Structure 1
Amino acid sequence: MASAAVAADIQQRFHRVRQRTVALAAPLSAEDLMVQSMPDASPGKWHLAHTTWFFEQFVLSRRAGHAPRHPAWMVLFNSYYQSVGPMHARPHRGLLSRPSLAEVLDYRRYVDEAVSEQLLTGDDPDLATLVELGLNHEQQHQELLLTDIKHALWCNPLRPAYDERAPAASSAAVPMRFVAGREGVVEIGHGGSGFAFDNETPRHRALLQPHALANRLVTNAEYLAFIHDGGYREPGLWLSDGWATVQAEGWQRPLYWQDDLACEFTLHGVMAFDPEAPVSHLSYFEADAFARWAGARLPTEAEWESAAATLPVQGNLQDGGHFHPLPAPTDGNGLLQMFGDVWEWTASPYVSYPGFQPLPGSLGEYNGKFMNGQWVLRGGSCVTPCDHVRASYRNFFPPHARWQFAGIRLGHDR
C-alpha cells in the first residue's frame, strides 16, 4: 500500500497534468480541435479524449465491476493497442464530429473524479505506478497537441496564430565550438529512482570512441547557408531514401519556412525568422545531409546521453510558454541547449537495449513494437514539459518526419 505522502503527491500531480492539457487546448475553438491535417497528426479533441481513455482502460478497469462510461468510445479513442480491442482508423480521426467537445470535456471530468477516488482508497499497490505512466503518456500528448495544431493552422491560408504573443527577441550569436566527450566504457539508460519508459531500460554499458559535440544547436542562419550552397540540389549529400524523398516531395527548405527564406510559420503566426535561433522542423534526412555538408556528423544517442547526464534539465521547454526555439544563452559555458528548444536527431536507429523487456500485458505495446525503421531523438523541445524529459529519454520518429520541433547538434570524431 502506498504511503499517504506518495498518494497525496500523485493526486496533486494527476490534477496538475490533467488541467494543463485542458489549458493548452483552451485557446482553440471546437472547430480547431476537430481538424486533422494529415494522417500522422490527430485532432486536439482526439488527444483530449484518448488520454482520458488511457486512464479508463488501464486504471479504472482494475476496479471490480467497472463498466465503460461510453462503450463505443473505447473503440473511437483506442490508438494502437491491438490486444485491448478494435480501434477507429487513425487517418479518419478528423471525421469524428461526434462526440462533441463538450461531451469529451465532460468525459474527462468523469474519469478525473473516478481516478481520484481510486487513488484515495490506497488498496492497489500498482495504482500509483500506472497513474504515473498515464501522466507521462498525457504529457507526450500535450506536446503532440501543440505540434499537430501548428501543422493544422499552417495548412489554413489565413495562417492563424495559436498564441498572439511574440517569443523573446534575439540575443547575440554564440560561436560554435566543439566540446570533447567522454571516451571508453560508459553506462547509459535509466537507472535508480524516478519514472522512465520501458525503452530507456535496462541501464547498460556502451563504448564511446574519441568524439566531440557542438556546444550549441545549428541555427537558422547556418541552415540558410546550406540552402544557398545548393544543399537540396546535391545528391551526394543525401542518403538514398532521403534524396528520393526530396525529389518526390519537392523539399527546398524546412517545413514551415516561407518562399522568401526569411519568414517562418510559428505558433505565434508568420514571423521573420531569427537567424540565431535553432533551425527546426527538419527530418532526419535533412539533419544528416546538413551534417555531411558541414563536414561533421550527427551524434550517437550514447554520446548525447553521456554528455547530458551530468547537466540539469533546464532550458526553453513548454513551461516557459515561448512555444518556439530561442537562441543559445550568451552567458553559458560548455554544452548549451541540451534540453529544450528542439529535439535533436541522433545517428542511432531506434532499437532495443541489451536485455530489454517490454511492460507486461497490453502496456507492452507502448514502445517496443515501434522499434523498426525509426531514429532516436534526444533532449526535448520548446513544447516538452520540463518534468517529463530527462537525459535517458528516447524519442523516436521515422526519418521523413518533419512536423515535430526537431533540429541538429553536430558531432565529429577526434
Structure 2
Amino acid sequence: MLKRRLLSAVELTRIMLSRIDTVDPIMQAYIRVTEASALAEANRAEREIARGIDRGPLHGVPVAVKDIFDMKGVPTTAGMAIRANALATEDATVIRRLREAGAVILGKLSMTEGAYAEHRAPFPTPRNAWHADYWPGASSSGSAVAVSAGLCYAALASETGGSIRLPAAANGVTGIKPTWGRVSRHRTFELASTLDHVGVIARSAADAAAALGIVAGRDPADPTTSLRAVPQFSVEPCHDLEGVRLGVDTSWLGARLSNVMSLAISDAIATLSDLGATIVEVALPNVEEMIWDWFPVCAVQAAVAHDTTYPSRRSEYSPSLATLIEQGRALPGTQYQRLLLRRQEFRGRLLALFSQVDFVALPVLPAGVPTIERMSRIDDELIADIHRFTCPFNMASLPSVVLPCGFSADAMPLVFQLIGAPFSEAELVNASNAFQSATDWHAKHPVGA
C-alpha cells in the first residue's frame, strides 16, 4: 500500500497517532508516544519512497517497542520508577536496525517492573485487548495489547520466562521468540542474561517475521549473538507442509488442559496434518523440574543485573522483584551449579528429540487466559500452569511461534505454539504461514480494534 503510494507514510502515521490518542487512554499500552520523531521518520520514509528508494518491508510502517530498549534521548524505564529519568545516550542495536530499515517508531510500550512479574506505578497497567477482566500477560503486555488493539503494526518485545508468548496468548496475536543469540541484546535492559530473548509480536507470522528479519543477526556489540546468517523469511502464503515432521506428546493434550483448549489444539494439529505434516508421537522430557529451576537461575542473574541499584535502593523495588533478587543473592554457588547442570541435561534431551521431529506442538496457557481476579490469588498451581510451556523451553534456548487457534466460550482467544530446534526460525515461519493461510484466527480483532 505504501510502496504503491495508495497511502503515504505520513498519512498512515497520523492515522495511527490519532488512534492511539483515542484508544490508548483505555488500553494503556504506551508508556510514551514519540510523536515528533515518528512524524519526522514518516516524512523521511515518504520522501524516500517517492524517489524509488526501498528499505524493505517496514519502510514507512508504524511500529512500537517495549520500554526495555534504549532509544537515544528517551528514557528507558523498564517499568521501574527508579529509571523514570534514565535517558538513553544511544540506540539499542535493534532500534538502530529498525531505523535503518525505515520503520516509524511510534513510542515505548508498557511492561511489568524490570521485565518480571508485576505492573507497578507510576507506569500504566495495560488492559487486555479482548476483555478488561482478563490478564494482559507479562512482561511484554503493552507490546501484545498494542498489536491486538490496532495501535501499531508490529512491536518489539522480550522474553525471559514467557514474556512474549504469554502476552501474545492473552491477547490473541502472533509472537515469535527466536533462539537465544539470534537477536542482539546490546543496550537492552537485562533481567537474566542467559534467559533473555528479543523477539517480535504482530498480527501474523509473516508480519512478525518481516520485523525479525530486520533486527536479527550478528552484532559486534553483543558477543553472544550468533555468527549464523539471518535467513530470508518467507512472507508468502505456504500451502504445503509435505515432509515436515510434527511432534505431539498426547499426554499434554488430555488431563493437563481444559476441554476447550484440548479441542482447539487438536483441531490445529489436524489442520497442520491436512497441510501435509506428518504427525509423530513423542515423549517430552519432564518439564516440571525445569519450571521450578527457572526461578533460582533467573534470580541469580537478576541479582547481577541489579547490583548497581540493589540493595542500595531496595525500598523502591516491589516485593516480588526484591524477593527474586534476594533469592539470587542468597543462593550458594554449588546449588547454582547443580541447576546449570540440570539445565544442560534438559536441553540435551530436547535436542535429541529434534533428531526425530522438526517441530513440537504445545499449548501456551493450558486453561486459557486467566482472569485478573484469579491472578490476584496466584499460588503454586497457577504459577506452574502459566510457566509449564514457556520457562522450560527458555532454559533450553529454543525458538517458538505462538499462533491463535480459536476462542473460548467467553470469547477469549486460544493459542498454541510450535517449538523448533535451535535457529529453525525460517522453518517455523513457513509452517506458521501455512497454518495461517488455512485459518483466519489471527485475523480476528477485538471489538473496536
> Do both share a fold (TM > 0.5)?
no
**Scaled by the length of structure 1, what TM-score is found?**
0.30
**Scaled by the length of structure 2, what TM-score is found?**
0.28
